[in-house]
């Protein structure tokens, strides 16, 4: 009996610690303020990653529908005669919205309608709300329109059954998921965590691990004050969180002592996880990410002409005053790649700094170098090979889209680089979203371009066999 009770408590406990949103849309009869009745309601319970429950129903408002509403929604009085009245669905609405933040497009309208209906039943319905209109204005500024239909169309979000509750609520869910992704400062999630703190929820390690997916993404560790103390990325978030909680390093022990709750973003793509982690550490500056606040590409490859006019490649400590070709996390990584580049592009090991000599290089002796090191190949001919290497291993002035895996089997991810500058990433499931650059830019989660992200992308392209590159 005690075991069953503990399991029930653990399930309730786990449910409360998940970020839950009730994303809803309500269709009404129209009419005078506070005299409207509900004709249809749709609610999708969303945990920040996927829909976990839903409720969709026509509702008999017991008053006539205004003609313009019939024309707009297609819902008429005859359709509602056999529909349940509001009091018959009220309990289900309370159940599905319990411990949730109400999310709606123009939330003040839907929340007012819902409160009015409950007030007629003598019940005071209260919940925290989020408006996707206001969030979109903040996170996707300068859109020509923030009406739901025009906004989702400009973002390439597919929409069915416009002006019906289920269609509008599902479009709002997809929009809200995109807004969560664009919120790199995590203000939406931080507000939710404040609600958890107010409720006094204090999850411990096993509950937190059970909430994490065994998937690729970025995770965020918060303390009891709601402060973000650590950001990490992993190809298996659950496994990595378990390592934090079983680790014996000073950092692990501090995280174990302070952790209150953890949120995560699945990315599907390891490259997007790397890029998100890099930017969000810089934006949020969590106290236990000190090592990542500085650049983690301390060695770079540079090109310089020697006295004979041949372009030499030099692997050195990174110098921000000089124009680099690409960078590396360690000197050894740089040397390993330089050996591969030298062989692939038929370069000379002496001119790439891999063989120190005043005479010909060793590769010349074994007939694997054609003699650039001793002047048997002219600078014009040799430098064309070097320029080919530079062009193929640098995206300076290039415009391209990097296509990688998405978060599920039907989705792909896209990273946009325009004129050599990293612009951000997006997820898509329709081909026209990726082939139409204007739509891609609308659904893009904008990111900062800096030396680190440039080198993360270059390093990933070097190592990945699955990524596809689309030039435009």
pTM of the model: 0.66
Query: DSSP letters of 75-110?
Result: --HHHHTTSPBHHHHHHHHHHHHTT-EEEETTHHHH
- The total of other beta-carbon atoms located within 10 Å of residue 287's CB is 13
Distance from C-alpha of 428 to C-alpha of 414, rounded to nearest angstrom: 8
Regions of the chain with pLDDT less than 70? 1-18, 192-204, 291-296
How many helices (H) and strands (E) in the chain?
Answer: 20, 16
User: What are the residues facing 26 on neighbouring strands?
Assistant: 41
First to last CA, the chain: 65
Give the C-alpha separation, 420 to 423, whole Å.
9
Instruction: Give residue for tokens 């209150």.
Output: 260
Look up the CATH number of domain 187-293. Answer: 3.40.1440.10
98 closest CA partner among 185, 18, 5, 216 = 18
Please, which contacts does 437-445 make with residues 24 or more away whose CB atoms are closer than 8 Å? 437/472, 439/154, 439/155, 439/156, 440/156, 440/401, 440/414, 440/416, 441/416, 442/140, 442/143, 442/154, 442/155, 442/156, 443/155, 443/156, 443/157, 443/178, 444/416, 445/178, 445/181, 445/182, 445/184
Buried/exposed code over 155-164 (b: 16+ C-beta within 10 A; e: otherwise) = bbbebeeebb
Which fold, 20-182?
A: Nucleotidyltransferase; domain 5 (3.30.420)
Q: Three-class SS of residue 55?
A: strand
Residue 32 φ/ψ, nearest 5 degrees: -70, 155
Query: Contact at 8 Å (CB) between 28 and 41?
Result: no
pLDDT for the residue 4: 34
Q: What is the pLDDT of residue 200?
A: 55
Interatomic CA distance for residues 371 and 379, integer angstroms: 11
Residue 246: per-residue pLDDT: 83
The 10s digit of each residue's pLDDT in 387-441 is 998 888 777 778 999 999 999 988 999 999 998 889 999 998 877 777 888 888 8
Q: List the domain boundaries for the chain.
A: 20-182, 187-293, 299-392, 400-471
Q: What region, left, alpha or beta, does residue 346 occupy, with left being phi > 0 and alpha being psi -120 to 50 degrees?
A: left
Handedness of CA 450, 451, 452, 457 (dihedral sign): positive
What is the separation of C-alpha 183 from the centre of its chain, rounded to a whole number of angstroms? 9
The Cα 64–Cα 245 span in angstroms is: 60
Element (H, E) at 313: strand 311-317
Q: What is the dihedral of CA 275, 278, 283, 289, to 10 degrees?
A: 150
Question: 20-182 and 187-293: same fold?
Answer: no
């Amino acid at each position: 009996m005690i075991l069953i009770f503990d399991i029930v408590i653990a399930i309730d406990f786990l449910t409360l610690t998940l970020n839950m949103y009730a994303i809803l849309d309500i269709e009404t009869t129209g009419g005078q303020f506070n005299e409207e009745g509900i004709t249809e309601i749709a609610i999708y319970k969303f945990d920040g990653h996927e829909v976990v429950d839903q409720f969709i129903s026509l509702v008999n408002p017991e008053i006539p529908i205004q003609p313009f509403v019939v024309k707009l929604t297609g819902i008429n009085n005859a359709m509602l005669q056999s529909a349940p009245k509001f009091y018959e669905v009220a309990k289900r609405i309370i159940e599905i919205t319990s411990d949730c933040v109400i999310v709606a497009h123009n939330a003040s309208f839907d929340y007012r309608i819902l409160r009015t209906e409950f007030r007629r039943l003598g019940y005071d319905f209260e919940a925290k709300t989020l408006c996707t209109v206001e969030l979109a204005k903040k996170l996707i500024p300068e859109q020509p329109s923030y009406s739901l239909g025009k906004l989702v169309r400009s973002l390439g979000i597919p929409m069915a059954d416009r002006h019906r509750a289920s269609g509008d609520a599902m479009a709002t869910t997809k929009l809200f998921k995109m807004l969560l992704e664009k919120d790199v400062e995590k203000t939406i999630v931080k507000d939710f965590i404040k609600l958890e703190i107010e409720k006094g929820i204090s999850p411990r390690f096993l509950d937190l691990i059970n909430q994490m997916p065994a998937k690729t993404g970025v995770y965020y560790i918060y303390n009891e004050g709601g402060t973000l103390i650590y950001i990490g990325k992993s190809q298996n978030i659950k496994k990595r969180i378990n390592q934090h909680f079983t680790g014996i390093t000073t950092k692990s022990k501090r995280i174990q002592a302070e952790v209150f709750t953890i949120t995560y973003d699945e990315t599907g793509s390891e490259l997007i996880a790397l890029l998100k982690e890099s930017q969000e550490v810089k934006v949020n500056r969590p106290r236990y990410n000190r090592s990542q606040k500085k650049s983690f590409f301390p060695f770079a490859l540079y090109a310089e002409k020697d006295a004979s006019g041949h372009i030499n490649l030099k692997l050195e400590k990174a110098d921000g005053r000089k124009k680099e070709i690409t960078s590396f996390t360690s000197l050894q990584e740089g040397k390993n790649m330089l050996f591969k580049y030298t062989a692939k592009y038929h370069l000379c090991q002496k001119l790439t700094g891999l063989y120190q000599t005043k005479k010909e290089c060793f590769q010349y002796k074994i007939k694997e170098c054609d003699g650039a090191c001793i002047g048997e190949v002219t600078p014009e001919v040799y430098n064309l090979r070097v320029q080919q290497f530079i062009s193929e291993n640098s995206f300076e002035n290039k415009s391209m889209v990097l296509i990688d895996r998405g978060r599920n089997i039907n989705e792909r991810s896209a990273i946009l680089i325009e004129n050599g500058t990293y612009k951000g990433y997006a997820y898509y499931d329709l081909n026209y979203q990726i082939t139409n650059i204007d739509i891609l830019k609308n659904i893009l989660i904008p990111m900062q371009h800096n030396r680190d992200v440039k080198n993360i992308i270059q390093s990933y392209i070097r190592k990945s066999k699955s990524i596809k590159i689309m030039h435009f």
